[in-house]
Chain A
Amino acid sequence: SYELTQPLSVSVALGQTARITCGGYKIGNRNVHWYQQKPGQAPLLVIYRDTNRPSGIPERFSGSNSGDAATLTISRAHVGDEGDYYCQVWDSSAVFGGGTKLTVL
């Protein structure tokens, strides 16, 4: 079965750029989707099909995908961006990465 690997945690200084990676074998050949989950809340879609933002998601959120890694980039990080981030692909069923906890310092 297909596996996705994410770092357990990423820290970023306030106002700087955070990058969260999602590794998988030839993941660049797949579509990757990203979810944000704040404590006590349901996941929220922030990027779909590698680079697309749903309506209401700030332009500070962007995505890329190539080779063996997809990346979620959060520019000008806010304290409000703190939470867990999950990548997901579809492989006859949903496959999720283990999640990355983002801390804004």
Chain B
Amino acid sequence: EVLLLEAGGGFVQPGGSLRLSCVASGFNIRNYVMSWVRQAPGKGLEWVSSLSGSTGSPTYVASVKGRFTISRDDSTNTLYLQMNTLRVEDTAIYYCAKHLIAGSTNWFDPWGQGTLVTVSS
């Protein structure tokens, strides 16, 4: 069974840092594109960052570029999101998700259960 389990969320003051982790089971993350998607309280879904399986190349939404870093550890099959210089508007549940790809389209299945990040003074 393919499963994703996030951890690392918590309460942090503006300007602080957190590192999220997502442990995958049932598949090797190095063979897939993986993403972080967030959801602010009461709001919709927003893609944050992706990491290519084959090349390891990262991509980011403009609002987190220069502050967030996506990475992975193949030995532990874990995806990470290092979040620095956090802002109040980064408050959200952060989900990791596995990409499925066909031609020029990507979709997400499955998703982890999410981890809550709260940025507040």
The verdict on A69 contacting chain B, using a C-beta distance below 8 Å, is no
Would you call A86 and B47 a contact (CB within 8 A)? no
Residue among B37, B95, B105, B107 having the largest count of chain A Cβ atoms under 10 Å: B107
How close is A2's CB to chain B, nearest CB, in angstroms? Answer: 12
Which B residues are in CB contact (< 8 Å) with A89? 105
Would you call A88 and B107 a contact (CB within 8 A)? yes
Would you call A96 and B46 a contact (CB within 8 A)? yes
Which A residues are in CB contact (< 8 Å) with B112? 42
Which of B44, B47, B104, B111 is within 8 Å of A93, CB to CB?
Answer: B47
Would you call A49 and B95 a contact (CB within 8 A)? no
Q: Give the number of chain B interface residues (Cβ < 8 Å).
A: 24
> Cα distance A90–B103 when bound, in Å?
11
Would you call B107 and A90 a contact (CB within 8 A)? yes
Write the chain A residue with the least CB distance to B114. Answer: A42
> Cα distance A95–B108 when bound, in Å?
12
Which B residues are in CB contact (< 8 Å) with A35? 45, 108
Which A residues are in CB contact (< 8 Å) with B45? 35, 43, 86, 88, 96, 99
Within 8 A of A (CB), among B83-121: 95, 100, 102-114
How close is B79's CB to chain A, nearest CB, in angstroms? Answer: 15
Would you call B105 and A49 a contact (CB within 8 A)? yes
How close is B43's CB to chain A, nearest CB, in angstroms? Answer: 8
Q: Mark A36-58, 1 if CB is under 8 A from B, else 0.
A: 00000111110011000010000
Which of B106, B111, B114 is within 8 Å of A90, CB to CB?
Answer: B106
Q: Mark A81-105, 1 if CB is under 8 A from B, else 0.
A: 0000010111001111111000000
Give 9 CB contacts A-B under 8 Å: A31-B103, A42-B114, A49-B107, A54-B109, A93-B50, A93-B59, A94-B37, A94-B47, A96-B46
Which residues of A are interface residues toward B (Cβ below 8 A)?
30-31, 33, 35, 41-45, 48-49, 54, 86, 88-90, 93-99
Extra A-B contacts (7), CB below 8 Å, given A31-B103, A96-B46: A31-B104, A42-B111, A43-B45, A44-B111, A45-B109, A94-B47, A97-B44
Q: Which 5 A-B pairs have the closest CB atoms?
A: A94-B47, A31-B105, A33-B107, A45-B109, A42-B111
